[in-house]
Chain A
């Protein structure tokens, strides 16, 4: 028997049960669409998260304070509950800046305050940012300039404001050279940031930058910092530079046991790798969950094929009595199952494509830096899995049909 005839036979049987065939395909397609959507959303999320890191050059070293003797998680929880580490100082930054492979460095501190201009009030996050920050990370301005090292060293009261802060306080007027007030102190606006949107749940348009030293000395009266970012000149030595910085800081902080470090040095690659791992892990978990719906769809196929075989017992008996071999019957029903799953696969991929694009469209409309990507492996995974499901779940009913006794089957008209 020719394959063409086999396919035609299966096809015409499915056409006769149009509604049932379509419903079975839809049941399976939902699972398949979910796989495509989740993998695509994972990619979109990953692209969005990683694009937030694009403002940092890959040759950046980040040094952040941490609670000694606690794990990664313990430290983060501790700091979130209000523990402050005060051991990282401006002088640490100065020493790090002397390393031969580091050519730019700045320290940062954050605080919160109300900013005032002509009766308008706005609560903002204040970033104390060293004046050399633009050499280490990308800071794009729509107006004016970033403050200079001289201005920081002289504790100038200068400020760079986020786009939303500018809009709220100044509307369509220019902000540069105007004075705003924070805690009763006057700050001269030197620059306005371009609109960036939110990421990691943080609104980058509602922040302001003032020089770290100005913030420490004139506003909060401390001499410690939360972190330091440094730019390395020779990327190939970034790992040894990282070790040098660790040794330097341990020496300055009198630490002998690395487990008791009160700081953590990370490269951008490590941060990127960590984020990729997290997003990949979440995606994998969701895909695994969605695979359950694929199995449900597969059981649906088995169920329908069982019904079909039962309904067509007489037909099977007749076909066998006129010369159909067991394998002819097996293929007839197996091909039906495969067409159902493949049809479900195609519908599912198309559905997944459309919904993923909708998610992308919505995310971009919401201001997220989402990317639209349907990895080819997600389509292969979805279709491959559906074909495997069809074979696996279609085989048993098809085998049952093939092994029917023709004499008994013929009695079931």
Chain B
């Protein structure tokens, strides 16, 4: 695995201005994330971790500082280029799954490919392949309302992977799941990381965060700790824990 700087963040700040009231969320963060890493961004609610994830996920813009992705300064990108980055470079897994209820599991997985040059056949084949990979080959035509929480999140993971992203962002991916389903999801993320995918996990739980290899702790918009996980939690295939 080659070690290249995938994400470089220097002195990043973010503030919102609302009717001349300035709210500072992030107070100057500096860190790097390399390709192939599994990093948890951990902090209590209100710490700014979601805002950071939105900036790293090209959904929001920083106020000052530098954020470069694969050596490109993201602040120089226009809206279309940012959309292009979201399409090709990253995949999101959300706490609330964020699936389209009217569409089937297959269509949900295909959705990000709709905004690429892929043909319908390519989209269908790729989505089927990924749903099989997350163990949902028998659920492809089901709508999200017919799926359990764990199944929904696996659909969302398949969707995040569909365009072969450089990074997968998982924002509290186990937050709406029972512990067994949660562990299944963590197992998939760990397996994906073993296959070389870069994973950034956002969570407020220490236990969930410890599934990663490195934890960035954030509090009040500042990084308070950045260290490797010594006692890593490993999720088993059937949702049991193997230390």
Contacts and interface: CB of A to CB of B under 8 A. Distances in A.
A and B part of one assembly: yes
Interface of A: 1, 5, 9, 16, 314-315, 318-328, 406-407, 410, 413
A321 B86 contact: yes
A325 B79 contact: yes
A323 B86 contact: yes
A322 B59 contact: no
Given A5-B114, A407-B59, A322 B54 contact: no
Contacts of B79: 325-326
B174 interface: no
Contact of A322 (B60, B102, B115): B115
15 contacts: A5-B120, A9-B114, A318-B100, A320-B59, A321-B86, A322-B159, A323-B84, A323-B112, A323-B116, A324-B87, A325-B84, A325-B115, A326-B83, A328-B83, A407-B54
Given A16-B102, A325-B83, A407 B60 contact: yes
Contacts of B96: 413
Given A318-B98, A323-B163, 16 more contacts: A1-B115, A16-B102, A314-B98, A319-B111, A321-B92, A322-B87, A322-B92, A322-B115, A323-B83, A323-B87, A323-B88, A324-B83, A324-B87, A325-B84, A325-B115, A328-B115
A12 to B, nearest CB: 9
- Top 4 nearest A-B pairs (CB, nearest first) are A323-B87, A322-B112, A325-B83, A323-B115
A328 B80 CA distance: 10
Contacts of B80: 325-327
A321 B60 CA distance: 10
Interface in B80-102: 80, 83-84, 86-88, 91-92, 94, 96, 98, 100, 102
Contacts of A9: 114
Identify whether the interface residues of A are mostly helix, strand, loop, or mixed.
helix
Nearest to B123: A5
A407 B92 CA distance: 12
Contacts of B83: 320, 323-326, 328
Given A16-B102, A407-B54, A321 B114 contact: no
| Residue of B54, B94, B98 contacting most chain A CB atoms (<10 Å) | B98
B84 A322 contact: no
Contacts of B120: 5
A321 B59 contact: yes
Nearest to B86: A323
Contacts of A407: 54, 59-60
A323 B79 CA distance: 11
Contacts of B114: 1, 5, 9, 324
B153 to A, nearest CB: 15
B87 A315 contact: no
